[in-house]
Amino acid sequence: MLFLGIDIGSTTSKAVVMDENKKIIGMEMIKAGTGTDGPERVINALFLNTQLNWEDIHTTVATGYGRMKFPKANFQVSELTCHALGTHHLLPDVHTIIDIGGQDVKVLNLDTNGNMTNFIMNDKCAAGTGRFLDVMSGILQIDINDMGKYALMAKKPLSISSTCTVFAESEVISRLSNGDDRNEIIAGICESVANRTSALAKRTNIKSAIAISGGVAKNDGVVKYLSIALNEDIKRSEYAQYAGALGAALYGIRKCSR
């Protein structure tokens, strides 16, 4: 039996197929989220690579911001539940999840069985989210995938004092025109996201181990400065961006095994 989890986020669509033994059969990601053809494209890509089609799928679970707009789903489940399930499966000793996505940040506390006990979220302000990093990479004319690499090359971060994305954008432009070191500016941008996230995380009952999930988990600079701000090692799975989709597939397996 095969289970499909689809995570329709604000900026990306992720899909995972698992069998009933929780073995991953395939996974795909498309950089287009809710309100676009991203969900359809991610399923097409997944089916192409796995040689599967809809008839092979027993249960489909949708999660993420756009989960209600996916009629093929048998269940729609909140991303909090799915991120908890997915990350607990990938990293079973994790008790705190920091999920930094394209437009929001969530911090989840888990019990030893991976059940969520508490969460806090920032979905009001772009600063501290992937959106902030995307805007900054545009100004710097660098690929978002390389931002972490450049941040790690800096001797020190040049701190960004503005707490608003629009003002921070002007600050970065003026730093660039002052001739400040580019990598140090990039490190400062990553540090700014990390500091905002750690302030949010500290409003919860942080318990080790801590993991990062969501697309920003791929940014080594944010992970480094988050680790410094929280004075803790941050665990990261290679499938961190798929945690929600993976959790959705796991939810389907759980529902059908009852």
**89-118 CB burial, b ≥16 within 10 A, e <16:** bbbeebbbbbbbbbbbbbbbbbeeebebee
3-state SS, 87-146, equals: HHHHCCCCCEEEEECCCCEEEEEECCCCCEEEEEEECCCCCCCHHHHHHHHHHHCCCHHH
Interface residue list for ligand ADP (CB under 6 A): 9-12, 33, 64, 101-103, 130-131, 133-134, 144-145, 147-148, 214-216, 218-219, 241
Q: Work out the angle at residue 198's Cα, subtended by the Cα atoms of residues 249 and 146, and round it to the nearest 5 degrees.
A: 70
Nearest distance from C-beta of residue 221 to ligand ADP, angstroms = 9
Of the pair 2, 157, the CB lying nearest ligand ADP is at 157
Of the pair 60, 241, the CB lying nearest ligand ADP is at 241
Of the pair 92, 138, the CB lying nearest ligand ADP is at 138
Nearest distance from C-beta of residue 62 to ligand ADP, angstroms = 13
Of the pair 11, 109, the CB lying nearest ligand ADP is at 11
Of the pair 2, 83, the CB lying nearest ligand ADP is at 83
Q: ω before 84 within 30° of 0 (cis)? A: no
Cβ–Cβ < 8 Å for 234, 212:
yes
Which residue is associated with the tokens 């660039």? 176
Helix or strand (DSSP H, E) at 45: helix 38-50
Nearest distance from C-beta of residue 113 to ligand ADP, angstroms = 25
The total of other beta-carbon atoms located within 10 Å of residue 153's CB is 13
Nearest distance from C-beta of residue 161 to ligand ADP, angstroms = 22
Nearest distance from C-beta of residue 238 to ligand ADP, angstroms = 12
The crossing angle, in degrees rounded to 10, of helices 182-201 and 220-230 is 50
Nearest distance from C-beta of residue 8 to ligand ADP, angstroms = 8
* Measured distance CA(222)–CA(148) in Å, rounded: 7
Nearest distance from C-beta of residue 22 to ligand ADP, angstroms = 22
Of the pair 2, 29, the CB lying nearest ligand ADP is at 29
Of the pair 3, 132, the CB lying nearest ligand ADP is at 132
